[in-house]
Structure 1
Amino acid sequence: MPSDLPRFFGFGASRATPRGVISLLNRYQRALLYVGGAVTSLVLLAATGVMLSSQVRDYVAERQAEFNARKALLHLELFVRQGSARINIFHEEGAWERRARAPQSLVDAFAAHEGRLVLPSNKDFPPMLLLGDLSAQRPADSFAQYLGLAEEVGYRSAAYTKTLTLHSSYFYAPDLRFLAVVPAPAAADLFERHGARTTEDLLQRIAPPELGDLSDPAVVARLRDSGTAVWLPPAVSPFTGETVLRLAQPGFHDGKPFVVLVNDYPLDIITAHLSNERHDEASMFVDPSGRVIAETHGPSGTEGLQARALQLSQPSLAANGATLQYRDGLFTLRAPIADADWTYLYAFSWRTIASELGLRFALYAGAMLLLIAFVWAALLLLDRKVFRPGYARSQRIVESENLNRTMVATTPSGLALLRYPSGEVLLQNQVMQACTDNARPEDPPLPQRLLRLYDDAPGAPEWLPDLELPVTLASGEVTELLVSVVRTKYQGSDVLLCNFSDITTRKNAERALESAREAAHQANHAKSAFLAMMSHEIRTPLNAIMGNLELLQRSPLSAAQNERLGAVTSSSTALLGIINDILDFSKIESDQMRLESIRFDLADTARQVIAVFTPLAQAKRLALDCVIDDALAPHHLGDPTRLRQLLMNLLSNAIKFTDTGDVLLEVYLKDDADPASPVVIGVSDTGIGMTAAQQKALFEPFTQADSSIARRFGGTGLGLALCRRLAGLMGGDIQVVSSPGKGSTFLVTLPLPAAPALPPRAPAPPATGADTAAPAAHILVVDDHPANRELVKMQLEALGYTSDQASGGLQALDLFARRRHDLIITDINMPGMDGYTLARALRAQGSRVPIVALTADVAVRERERCESAGIDTALIKPILLDTLDQTVRQLTLRDPEATPSAGARRQDIAQGTLPASVHRPLAQSLADTAAAIRAALDAGDTAALGAGLHSLRGAFALIHEAGLAADCVAMETQLRDADLPALAQAFERFEPAARAALARRAPEGAAAA
């Protein structure tokens, strides 16, 4: 053990006893306590000073805010009145040239009263005085235009008198020969008061001299360019003798003034915005020369304060808002008044602040003194109740220190105290020493390795537990250590306390468990890969089986052959469904399934699925209902194919396990009030239901509720497991509520976002004659297997298309170069040049002909390889006629609804008029088969019924009458259920509909049998 270990723990020689160290520490603590009390008192005093200073700043800010508010209200007052005056002048400027003369009666009255006429007004408005100097040179008719102006302005000025507290309003001609005043004063008194004899003399005395000489071009240009009303300093009203605030604006026509409008307002519209409520404050308006034009005083005399404010305020003003300054104990706020050339000045002193905040300051100071007294009382109590008893306890702690040291030295875990950051060992027990001694010599010392485990990055925790450290021993064995590192202080130094235990046995067990888990994962992955491979391998022969079966259905067969063919076709379809489910499930488990996010109609998708299952539900006499929430968006974003697969699995199960009652499909928003709410899809039935134990294993793959389910109802037990996986891939979940004998309800919650609205589409161009009759497509089929080539050829011929066949890529290139082809259908895996290479070669030649790949591999990587090679689409085997026909039409731009040309009409029997060679035997077959079915119904011959229904279904599927074919499927279901009465009723409805369909598609001159 190192000789310089801490003396406090008794390692090595020491001149100081632990008791002496504790006594010294106690003195330091008490000194720190009282020094801390003094510092706290100073901090509280400083905090109180800061708080009082903040209160003063807040008060000054409040006064500034109030000043700005008053200034803003004043601006509003002035702006409104300026606006009204400008509107008046603007109106008259626009109407002056077209202004009609006053009525002749008014002109005659003006002349009769020798140019001194009181114009009558509405009873609610005051009258207007009209004054003009009449002479031989200026008769009454020369004032007709001004009289017309007065008649119109009279009502408007009277209205402004009420709404804008207008004191008086008058306008006059710039040549001083006409004056109109509202309200009308006594004319004689007006002339006598101002010592005038004529209107021109009167206007020379009362017209605002601040406007200047209107005959001076410079004055006229200045007033015209300003374009707004001018606020003039307060003056005595020439009509009432009261001090008023004047607003003047001339009106111009062709650049010359034709009228001057002057509005007199009471002075209190500006003095009302001057503050006068506080002690020792002053508020005033000052003109550019420093003269006070309006002022208010507080409750105490403030003449001296006003003089100081004028003397100390600076002439500079803020462009926006108020300028605040403080000088010689006085706070002043200055702001310009818009369009008035005045300054708004407000001043207050410390006495104002003291009168408002004095009580608050006293409360703060008192609270501070009480808090300081409380702090010192607490410190004294802490010394007596804590530090003195603590000193006594420390004495006892020293006595137990030796025992603690012994316990540390003998603990079974490794302990070490390392100086940070040097890594010097200050203390270690025997376990730590033994591990250090047994470590491999060439490795760094164990204390240094423990030091490296500590993370000294900023923000790292001081305690780092559960760190793992492998240590190689001298014997070559590896010991796994579980380490905890804590950073702490010891005698003023940074230290690391390291603790470790041996977890070698546990780590070996974990490694064995991880190996077992990895092996299980690989086995599960191998299982999924095997399922995908087997599904792929099965699809190739199944393609030939189902393709030939579909072609065979279009051939004339006997009733027994049709029955056997129906059984084989049904079994093949069921096998394909099982393969698809297994492949989808394996793709999900191997993380190969990718979902689309495209725009689709959720409500329409649900209705399509309901339409598929309606015949099956009717065959079992079940009510199949669908409820769609009106709050759903018109379109959503998601994968409609997988959603349709989920719905069909749930509805198929519901109908399969329900014998009586109904099945309900509901689609609605989880929260109607939130358009972004998840969508809930509910499928409810009144079937056999399930117990709680059966529900636990319901969504496990290849598992059914109990062993009797597969025997009674069939199935693989994979549908619901696939539903749960699909819901999870879509970001949702699925739940079930069920009781035995009371049916089940499955609820699927999916986050399907609403699709954004599409821009309106341009109308399609009108169809031309060439578009309405496209010739049949000529297709190049490439496959190295002759049976596959022959199958595709027969399928294309059945659909009305012609084709060439090539056994490999090189032959295909040769055929493509010698003859034009509308489409290429190629196998992917071929010897020599495969389908990918063929597609790349064609694209390299610049060919844009559509290419369709035939494959049994549905993996995502296969589709990606097709896209990168230039292949337009890939069809998954087995390939049925409808899928093949739809793909050809889509890629060759042949509209399925278009009327075929004469050449194509002989081969395409999917729609429109049937060829006579097809219609005639089909009509005869319907008549013969209908008679055979009626005879079989009377005799109860189920075999003959099945053969006849199957024959009808194949015939109408051949000519693409999907509704009639579906009716045949429903009747076949009724036959399997031995419900002959229902079958008879359904056939009675079917036969007329079938005859009508044939009659509708009969060639000209022919009729249905």
Structure 2
Amino acid sequence: MTKYGLRARVITLTIAPTLIIGILLSAYFIKNRYQELEQQLSVAGQAIIEPLAIASEIGLSNESRENVRRLIGHTHRQHSQYIRSIAVFSDQNDLFVTSNYHRNLDLMAIPDGDSLPDRLEISRLQDTLLLRAPIRAIGGFNNNLTQDQTIGYITMEMDLSTVKLKQYQEIISAAVVLILGVILSGFFAYRLLLDVETPITQMINMIDRIRRGHLDVRIEGKLLGELDTLKNGINAMAISLSEYHLEMQQSIDQATSDLRETLEQLEIQNVELDIAKKNAQEAARVKSEFLANMSHELRTPLNGVIGFTRQMLKTQLSSSQQDYLQTIEKSANNLLTIINDILDFSKLEAGKLLLENIPFDFEDSLEEVMRLLAPMAHEKGLELDLRIDPRIPAGVIGDPLRIQQVLTNLIGNATKFTERGHIRISVELKQQRDEQLELQFVIRDSGIGISERQQAQLFQAFRQADASISRRYGGTGLGLVITQNLVNQMGGDIGFSSRLHQGSTFWFTLSLLKTDLPLVQPVDSEALAGQSLLLVESDIESRQLMSERLSQFGLSIRSVDTLPEQSEPVSCVLICVDASDVPSPDTLIAQATHAESFSDKVIFCLPTTELALSEHLLSSGVNSCLAKPLSVRKLVELLQGEQQAPDVLPPAVETHTNKLPMTVMAVDDNPANLKLITALLKERVTHVVTAHDGKHAVDRARSQRFDLILMDIQMPEMDGVTACKEIRKSPLNHQTPVIAVTAHAMTGERERLLDEGMDDYLTKPIEEHILEQVLHHWTHPHTGDIQPSSPLIKTNNVGSSLSIDWSLAMKQASGKEALAKEMLQMLVRSFDEVEEKVNNALDGDNIELWPIIHKLHGSCAYSGVPKLKGLCYELETQFKQGDDNDDVEPELCELLDEMNNIREQSPHYL
């Protein structure tokens, strides 16, 4: 709706122009008239004063005041309506004569110091007009005066009140004319409203009635011009609406009848859909329950197989026994991989797979995948080659586990479908923007290839390229689906190209972040300066690849396809053996003997399947044997002289000598699992108590205090959750930490168990390093919620933090204990230099501490020392703000104390 109606608009648009134009014209003409009257008065005054000036010359020259007074008096009386006063002044600016008394003669006189006027001057003062004219001497009347000499001046004051009076008269006349114009415009506006508003109001009322359903109303009478056309249109519209309404009513009646029939059918379908929905929900529940049960039932026996295999590998074994046990472990891990694939697929379908974002060593992570898949490739006589773009930094941030999973799936598929030839993996840096790295991974094989029909269904779940009953290659058909989803979830793309019988190329891209923090001990390339290496590799691509990687460390590389008959002396000879054509031991020994004629060090790079051959060569005097694909770090360590000659029978693995003085109860209904958990715990704690079910565990908890309880979840009669709640009721173990040990690995299982009252969570099969993390965590708790049940389990005061947080160190090292220990050792070794400079600064030396504190801060990032890291951050911030060494003296003393604490505590973890 508009703010103003038609009436207001018509009146405004009719009267407003008249009013505005009238005001503008009146103002214009009044102003012009006033200026014109004032100009006329000025002209009249000029016509009066100039003759007076000429006539007053004789009287002023002869000093005849009476003659001049009569002259100006007569003039004043003739024009008294305009003239207020006339005065004559001598050349000395003295009053000579005036027409009447003036109270302010100074106003008519020229100010002192000003010269006499030489021409007519007109000035306006408020409501008066002041005219001054010079009186000049005319030659002949007075012989003492020169011609045209100014002998005085005459001043005349004229009244402007008459002009203003006429101006007021003009204003009143204009106002009267304006009012008459407005009245006339109002009359015309009123007539216009009568001719327009009344018909329009009638039309509005009729339209409103039509809107309310009165379709039989019509507008009657004859209207003016377009209004009559509008009336006819509205009447025609009313007729059409009446006809449409009738048709619509008939259609509604028909549609209502059809709708009744449709609603009856929909009601039947809704009942059927509701039944189908309940069936689908039940199927989903059964599926989830099946996955959980399958996970538990499969992981439970696998826990025993993998666990006891690893326990056996700790004992003294022959090479064959080690090989057999490693094969058993590998087969069990393959079965575990299939289980994890199914669970990962379930998580991906539900959108609940979470990605990590942690720093890791890029090359080490990729080489770990190559080491894992090398045996499968070498068994088929295939060569694995890895090329990493040298521009890619060593440290990156991302999810190393999922990247390894993607590579394992793709390389594993390439190995599975390749019978001869090679598998080459390359990683290229496509683009770098600041800290963002865009990498492309390419996996090429020389396998059987994929037909166009098979390519269409390659990334579909539970579908394989060859799904026939006679197919040669096994698998679940989930690997590529999981790979595609993982790559997409990490923000990358994946694709492939393939031709039948000519091999396949799979590629995917990822975006990772660069980090400059140290992740592993860097290779000291300075120690290799001046050394030369003769590389013997039959495959030209592998030879070029290895030459590129080794030349980055300052080595002088000479590569050949076969061992030459003669050669210049070199520091080392590296002989690579083809996996598809392994020579006899005697041939290799002969090559080693020949190579020793021009080199002191001979190293063989053998396929991983040739363990016995490696032992034979080592026993024959060969310096060292490395596994393919070649680990550059291991080769550099050998060239630096850090290798150790292995025994034919490896010594038994040392068990833990420093056991934790604590009592732990292990609860499991599976005898094999209970035996394995007991064996793992006895290596790490002094006392282990077992319970074969939940009731037995509750009975033991009521009679004995424990420092920690490992509780299986799925047990007959009393499950682990119920047993945990019962144990909490006992006064002896009311606050004892209870760790859930379960084969269930479904999403949300951990959160559910923690909500049920468990303190932590372990999955089967149990990884030893994870078990150690749990034991360390609950012997060094991070909060004060758990009351100690032995002197070992200490609570921290509020606001304090651990000097060494081993669980944090393990997490920062991606679960690699050796790497975590190495990082802690490097940190402790750097303390001597820091302490020396800090002590010198405290003694008053002018030392800039910011660089060394910054370096120490970077070292703390991956060593599990949160308190020291916080102190370094605080000191670094204060130095950046301009504080000097004296300002941060308390923090520096605290830094020295904390480094001392870490040095004292570090032997317990190394």
Do both proteins adopt the same fold according to a TM-score greater than 0.5, normalized to the shorter chain?
no
Query: TM-score range with shorter-chain normalisation?
Result: 0.3 to 0.5
Larger radius of gyration: 2
TM-score where L is the length of structure 2? 0.39
Higher relative contact order (CA 8 A, sep 6+): 2
TM-score where L is the length of structure 1? 0.36
